[in-house]
Structure 1
Amino acid sequence: MKQSILSVSDVQSLINGGNKLLLAGEEEALKLLPKGDWVAGTIPYFISKEHGGMVSRELICATDISSFVSSIDIVKYDQNSLARVYAEGPKHGFSFIVIPAMSKTHLSFALNAPNYKDFGVRPLIGWIAGVHLSDLGKKTPKVINGQTGEVLEEGALVLQAQLPENKVAEIGIVNLFEQGDGDILTFTSDDFSAETVMVNGEKRNFAAYIVKNKLDTKLPLVADYYGALVNISFQDVDEVEGRVKFYAPVFSGIRYKHAKPVTDYVKVFNDRLCKECSIESDRVAFSCNCILNYLYSELEGKKTDPFVGPVTFGEIAYQLLNQTLVYLEVMDV
C-alpha cells in the first residue's frame, strides 16, 4: 500500500504499527488519530484507485512512505522561517510540505518561494490544505503534526525524509494547459489580485478586458517560467471593483497568455495522463490533484491511474502551482 483511502481505525492501526504516513482528511477524522510518525492536512476530496474521484468526511487518504524512507523529521515553519525550507531539506531524500490555505504562510510562500535560498536544489513536494467547499468561510484549513499532536491554522509543516543511498526522488508535473496565441499580458506587481494589466504593453483595466474579450476563466493564465509552464487560475472577476483575484500570484516581469482553449477537459486531461502512464505505478510514491481540475474535469467517480491521492487547494512542486497534478517518484539508483 502506498496511497489508499482508509477508515480511521485502519489508519490508527498503521500509526500504532510505527508506519510513516502522509495523511489527508477532515479535521474531525484526523483528530481521532494517535500520535506517531505522520503529518496531515485537512481536505475531504480524494482520487481513489477503486472509486475514482470521491468526497468523504469520514475516510482518510493515507500515503505510506515507510517502505522506502530511512528516517524522517517533522519541522514547523512560519511565514518568515519558511525561507530556509530548501536549504534545510535532506541532502539525500525529499521534503513534503503542507500549508493551510489562505494563511499568511501560504501567501508568503506563493509570493516568495522562487527567491528562497537554494530554491529547487532539493525535491520539495506537497499541497495546500483546504475544507469542504460548503464550509468555505465557516471552517479554517488546518495542518497537523502527528508527532506532537499540534494542530495549526497558521504556519507550515515539512516532513523531511531521508532516503537510503540506493534510492532517489524525482518530482513530476502534469499540466494540460498551454499558452494560447492571444495577447501578451504583464503585470506591474507581484500579487494575488490585479486591477491593471499591460496588454501588449498597453495599460488596461484587467476585469474590463476579461469581460470585453469574453475570456473563459476556467482556463488559467499560463506563464513560461524558463521552460516550465505554470498556471495562474482565476478566483474572481469583480467588474464593479475592477479587480481580478487569482488562486496563485502573478509576478511582474513575467509574460502571461490566456490558455489555449480545451475542447474536452476530461479527454485532454486523460490524454495528458496517458502520456505519463509510462510511469510505473509502483514508482509513484505520492500524488495530488487540484480542486479546480476535480470540478472542471468532473472527476467525481472518474479514475486518473496511475495517480491517486488528495484533491487540494493548491499543489506544490518546488513552488505553488494551480490546476496541475504533481507527483513524487522514488526510484532505485
Structure 2
Amino acid sequence: MNVRFFGNLMTGAAVAAAMALPAAAQTVLKVGLIDPPAHIDVRATERMAERVAELTGGELKLEVYPAAQLGFANDMLSGMKLGTIEMFVGATTWLGAFETDFWVSGTPYVFNDQDQARAVHEGEMFQGMADRLAEAHGIRVIAQNWDRGPRNFISTRPVETIEDLKGLKIRVPPQESWIENFKLAGAAATPMPLSETFTGLQQGIVEATEQASNWLYANKYYTIANNLTRTAHNYEETGVMIAERVYQSLSEDQRAALATAAAEIAPWHNEQVAQEIADAEKAMADEGVNILDVDVAKWQEQFRVNFDQIVEIVGYSPELADYLKSEWK
C-alpha cells in the first residue's frame, strides 16, 4: 500500500522497515480510541503513526488500539493523568472533566460554523486551556483541529422549528452543558450512555438523539427514527493527546514529529469527514428518511439567549464566555 502525505510518498515496505528497529532503539507508544476500526479518527491515527515512523526513522512507533481496547474515554484520560495510558485520540470535549472550559464545545451554537469552530480551537484561547491542562493535570493536547462535523437531530417525529423541541424526549450525553441547554430550550433532555441509545429509540424511551450525520448513519438510527433535522447546533473537534510525563520523556525531534504528523493529517481527515457526512445524508435520503432544514439563525438566537445561564450553571470562565460572544455573527 502506498500512502501519500502532501508530496511525500512512503511505501508500506518503507514504513515496515522503519518500524523494524531493534527494541532498544525504538520507543513504542500505545494510542487508544473509543471508535471502531473503520472510523475516520482511527484511520487518521493510523496514517499519523506511519508519518511519525517516517519522520523519526522508526525511532518512535505508535500502536493504535481502537474500539475502547484500552478503556473508555474517561478511563484513558484518567490513565494519561496517572501516566498509565500514553496517548488518546478523541473529542476534546471529554477534557471538561479536568478543565471545565473544554465542555463548551458541548454547548449549542457557541460557534458560527465549522471553519470558525476549528479556528477557535486552533487559537490562543484554546491553546491557553491546553497549557493549563498540561500543567495542572498532566495531559498535553498536541492538536485539536480534526473536525467531527456539525451535530444534527434524528427523531421519530419531525422537528422542523424550535417550538418542536418542547417536550421532545431527546437523548443527550450525561454531561451538564448538553442537559441544561436542551432543558432551557424546553426539551425533555434524557441523559443516556451512547451504547443504550439505539435501544432507547427503539423502545420509545427517547424520541430523538443528536450527532454528526455520518455517525447517525453508521449507528443505523435512521432505521428507527425517520426524520433528520439539519440544525448544525454543535461543532466539536477531535484532539490528539499524550500524557505529559511521556511527552517530556521524548526527544525534541520525536515531539516535533508528533506535532508535524498530527498537523499534516488534519486537512485529509477533515475532507474525509465532510465527504462522509454528504454521503451519509444522501444514503439516508435514498432510504426514505425525511431530511429537514431549519432557519439556523433563528435557532442560534434562541439558544444564545440562554448562554449566560449556561455559563453560570456549568462554570465556564468569564474570559472564555466573553471571547465566544465577541465572535458571534
More helix by share: 2
TM-score between both structures, scaled by the size of structure 2: 0.29
TM-score between both structures, scaled by the size of structure 1: 0.29
More strand by share: 1
Structure 1 or 2, whichever has the larger Rg, is: 2
